[in-house]
Each structure stands twice: as C-alpha cells, then as structure tokens.
Amino acid sequence: MGDVSALESDPGAAGAEPSVAWDIDGFERAFGGRSAATRRAYRSDLVAFADWAARGGIEDPGHVDRMLLRRYLAFLATRRYARASVARKAAALRSYFLWCRRRGLIESDPARALSAPKANGRLPRVLSHKELDGLLEPSTPTAASGDAKELATELRDTAALELLYAAGLRVAELCGLDRGGLDLTARIVTVTGKGNKERQVPIHDRAADALGQWMQRGWSELARNHSPIEAVFLNQAGNRMGPRDVRRIIDRRSPVPTHPHALRHSFATHLLDGGADLRVVQELLGHSSLQTTQVYTHVSKERLVSVYKGTHPRA
C-alpha cells in the first residue's frame, strides 16, 4: 500500500501535479453540469488526495483501496479540518472513483458507500419578524436628501431584499436574474439554479411592487453605457450586481451581522412553520434532494419547542 510514514505529511501542502494516470482533467470535464465553484472545489480535493497518496507510493487510482481512503479521511480529521470540509472531500472521492469505475480505469470502486463525518449540523439562522422589518423597511431612508442616485440605490436594495425573502433565492440566483425572468403581472420569477436547472417561483404583491419600482424608477439611474441591458440588478458601477454587493446591502440595513443566506433560511422555515408541505418547499428552493430540505424541519421543531416551553403553563 506504500510508505505509511510518507503519508503523515499535510495533504494540503504544495506538491507536484498528479500523474496523468489520475485523469483529473477528464473527471472535471465530465463534471460540467455542476457549478464552477463545485468543480473547482472537487478538483482541489482530488489533487490534494492524489498528491498525498503519491507520497506513499500510490501513483494511480487503480492502487487505491478502501482502507487507504478511510485512513485519508481519518488523517484529515487529525489535522483539524472542519467536518463539513472532510464530508465534501469524501463526496469528491466518491464521485471521482464512481467515474473511474464507469470509465473502466479501475476494476472496483473503493469509495462505494465511503462514510465521512457529517457536517456539524448547525441550524441555519432564522431572522425574526422584527429583524425582517428592519431589513425590508429601514426606519431611516437613505434617500431622504432627494438625490436621484440615492433613491435608485434604496429602491434597488429594497427590491433585492424583498425578492430574496419572497422567493427564497440563492444570492447567485438573484445576481444572475435577467429581465426575461420577471413576470410581475403573473407574480412569477424564473431563475437558473445549481446545475443550470431552471425553476419558477411565485412572489407576493409587495415584492412585485418593489421590483416594479426599481425597474421603472431606479434602474436607469445606475445604468451606464456598458451596463448589461438584460440584468435586473446593477451595482454602483453599472455592472451586474454580485454577491459582495448583496452583502454590502445587508450590512447597511441590518443592525446585527447577518449573512445573505439567512433570508433564504428564513423563507423556508417560515413556510414550514405556516404549514407548507416539505416537498413544496423543496421545489421552491430548487433542491434536487428532499434530504437537503429536511434541515429546515429541524429548525421548525426547535421553534415549536421554544414556543411550547414559553407558553405551556406546566412546561
């Protein structure tokens, strides 16, 4: 199985590019349906593993067995990698060796049913109704001076935050939204999610009104000659708005540190608290697996227990 002592060095340390026998480039090309961020992360994970294995004399995937993979994950844990990171690396290895098996590069899949520590299970932060009011309806308007650009910025910020909470969008989906995806008359937004999957999400009247106000009264104020005409949201430079711009909006509006994803978490949890079916919420969020959506049932249970303890006379 190779030199055990050589495997004790950090898998994240710099090393030579893995041999062509691993064909990581081919795997990355086959992974084209995933997001760019996922492809980069998986490639990095596989390069690190191949480099680590090579130090122990393993030069190709055909000489990797299940024991080596288990030792690798255990070794990552001893190096204090976060459990979520180890779980992702295990997922990358499972995907890679399944691909190798299908390509005939290996005879059997050593990563089949490879287990890894589950993520730490922290519950998503759910915003209170008071916090949501502070975000969506700031008490001190930034456009009080009457400046056209300030008013446009306020209209954009309100529209973006209303849409994040009304439709439970990912930040990347919000930033990538095009005019063709808006149907304000039907109260429907069409977005492209992970894996280039398209879905339609209903929005309420207040979100539709905020979007309409921004598009009619604010968009042209922030637009420049180079601005992408199809983009719904623009930043101060007239470019398509990005995740950092969304973070700045929330930092301006929220009195306490709040992650943009908290609006998506709150959307899902509030729907479930209101009695929505889990599979409906799965569809609205664009989750391919119901298991991904089930984390929000834990959030709801926590809140139900909290309400019960705070209101039942014998609790």
SS3 assignment, position 200: strand
Q: Is 296 a catalytic residue?
A: yes
Count of H-run helices and E-run strands, the chain? 14, 3
* Among 197, 261, 279, 298, the one annotated catalytic: 261
* Among 88, 94, 170, 253, the one annotated catalytic: 170
Write down the domain spans for the chain.
5-103, 129-310
Q: Is 40 a catalytic residue?
A: no
- Whether domain 129-310 has CATH 1.10.1060.10: the reply is no
Which residue type occupies 6?
A: A
Q: Is 118 a catalytic residue?
A: no
Q: Is 287 a catalytic residue?
A: yes
Q: Is 264 a catalytic residue?
A: yes
Q: Is 96 a catalytic residue?
A: no
Q: Is 169 exposed, middle or buried (0-12, 13-18, 19+ CB in 10 A)?
A: buried
- The number of C-alpha atoms within 13 Å of 246 and in the hemisphere containing its C-beta is 25
* Among 125, 187, 194, 303, the one annotated catalytic: 194
Q: Each residue's pLDDT tens digit in the chain (315 positions)?
A: 444 444 444 454 444 566 788 999 999 888 777 788 888 899 999 999 999 999 889 999 999 999 899 889 888 877 878 888 888 899 999 999 999 999 999 999 999 878 766 555 555 578 888 889 888 886 555 555 568 999 999 999 999 999 999 999 999 999 999 999 999 999 999 999 888 889 999 999 999 999 999 999 999 999 999 999 999 999 999 999 999 999 999 988 887 778 888 899 999 989 988 888 889 999 999 988 887 787 777 667 666 677 667 776 776
CA distance 246 to 254: 12
For 275, residues 6+ apart whose C-beta sits below 8 A from its C-beta are none
Residue 168 Cα distances to 153, 175, 220, 307, angstroms: 22, 13, 26, 24
SS3 assignment, position 206: helix
With beta carbons less than 8 A apart as the criterion, state whether 294 and 300 touch. no
Sheet holding 188-192, edge to edge: 182-183, 188-192, 198-202
* Among 94, 253, 264, 270, the one annotated catalytic: 264
